[in-house]
């Protein structure tokens, strides 16, 4: 799925799914959506390096969700609110 609009929508869905799956600091839904979109790019890159390519929308959502979880984990590890 090479369409940028599809990747943005998939990323937003992935951010929402990752917000349900991840524990830790609770962020706003908007933050999760943005992190999901970033995670979609991260997930695509990581899986591309590993030799996996999404051929269906469901596979794209799974890869993007894993990427979003990686990004959310990194943000939770780095960001320490007062």
pLDDT digits (tens, 9 = 90+) for 13-59: 998 898 888 876 677 888 888 888 899 899 999 999 999 988 898 99
Domain residues of the chain, as ranges? Answer: 4-37+46-78
Q: pLDDT at position 47, please?
A: 94
pLDDT interval class at 64 (50, 70, 90)? very high
Please write the tens of the pLDDT for every residue from 6-26. Answer: 888 888 899 889 888 887 667
- pLDDT for residue 2: 61
CB environment 41-57: b (16+ within 10 A), e (fewer): ebbbeebeeeeeebeee
- What's the rounded Cα separation, in Å, for the pair 41 and 72? 13
- Asked whether the predicted pLDDT for residue 81 surpasses 90, the reply is no
- Quick check: pTM over 0.95? no
């Amino acid at each position: 799925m090479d369409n940028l609009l599809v990747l943005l929508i998939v990323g937003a869905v992935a951010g929402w799914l990752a917000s349900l799956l991840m524990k830790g600091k609770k962020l706003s839904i908007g933050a999760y959506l943005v992190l999901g979109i970033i995670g979609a790019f991260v997930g695509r890159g990581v899986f591309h390096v590993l030799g996996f390519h999404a051929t269906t929308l469901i596979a794209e959502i799974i890869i993007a969700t894993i990427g979003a979880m990686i990004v959310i984990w990194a943000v939770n590890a780095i960001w320490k609110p007062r």
